[in-house]
Copies of this chain bind each other. A is one copy, B any other.
C-alpha cells in the first residue's frame, strides 16, 4: 500500500525548477562571497565590482584576528553567556509552558496573552529599557548583564505549551489513576515524552544566544568582556575599516555554530523545523 503519487514533471515543473535554482544561487551567494572576500587582500575587496575569486589568496586576516585581538576572551564570554542563556531560558520556559498548558490557576489566560503579546513589543523599546535597568543595577560589562535581558524567549514557552497540549489527556488521566503526583507527571511523563523538543530547543537557543549581537553590543563596552560577535566588530576599530579582516573574524565567529550544525545536524534541523511549526 506504499503510496507514490504520479507526479508529472511537466513544463510547470520545469519553470519551478529554473526558478528554484535561481533562488538557491541567490541564497548561497552571500555566504560564498563572504568566505572568498575574507581570503582577499583588503584592496581587492573594496573594488567597485564583484570578483568571484581572489586574485591574490591570503590568510593574513585570519592570522591577524587570531593573534592581534582578544579572540580567546571573546570565545569564553560567548560560551558562558550562550550556555547561561540556554540553560536558564529552556528550564524556565519548560515550567512556564507546563503550567500554562496543564494547570488551571487564576491568571492563567492573562499570563498566556502576555506571553503572546510580548512578541509584539518593538525590540528597541525593550533594549532601551534593558539598558537603563541594567545600568541602574550596575550589571553592564558583566556576564549577568549580557545574560539576563536575553532570557525573554516567549517562542520557547509557546513551543513547550504546544507540545504539552498535544500530549493526549489520556496520559495525564492514566497517571492520575496511577497515583502519580504533579511532579511525577511532569518529570516522569511529560518531559521524557518530549525529550526531542528539549534537545532541539536547547540547541537552537544556544545558536541564537551565540549569534546575538545587538544587546551584547550595547551592554558591553570593555573589550575583554565582549562576546565574539561583538568583538569581531572591534577588529576594525584599531586600524580603521577593513572589510576583509572583519569577514575573516566573522567566519571565525561562525565556526562553533557551523560545527554544532555539522555535529547535531539532525537535531538542529529538527529544532528549526520545530520552531517553524513542523513536528519532529
Contact = CB atoms under 8 A, between A and B. Distances in A.
A257 B122 contact: yes
Contact of A125 (B10, B31, B120, B176): B31
Interface residues of A, number: 102
A24 B114 contact: yes
Contacts of A48: 136
A225 interface: no
Tell me how many chains of this kind the complex includes.
2
Given A6-B176, A105-B9, A136-B48, A125 B16 contact: no
Contacts of A173: 5
Contacts of A272: 116, 119, 158
A28 interface: yes
A253 interface: yes
Q: Please report whether the interface of chain A is mostly helix, strand, loop or mixed according to DSSP.
A: helix
Interface in A223-271: 229, 232-233, 243, 246-247, 250-251, 253-254, 257-258, 261, 268-269
| 9 closest residue pairs by CB, A with B | A277-B277, A12-B182, A158-B276, A30-B129, A17-B105, A16-B99, A125-B250, A162-B278, A122-B254
Given A30-B129, A48-B136, 4 more contacts: A24-B111, A28-B114, A158-B272, A162-B278
Interface of A: 3, 5-10, 12-14, 16-17, 19-21, 23-24, 27-28, 30-31, 33-34, 37, 45, 48-50, 92, 95-96, 99-100, 102-108, 110-111, 114-126, 128-130, 132-133, 136, 152, 155, 158-159, 161-162, 165, 169, 172-173, 176, 181-183, 207, 211, 213-214, 229, 232-233, 243, 246-247, 250-251, 253-254, 257-258, 261, 268-269, 272-279
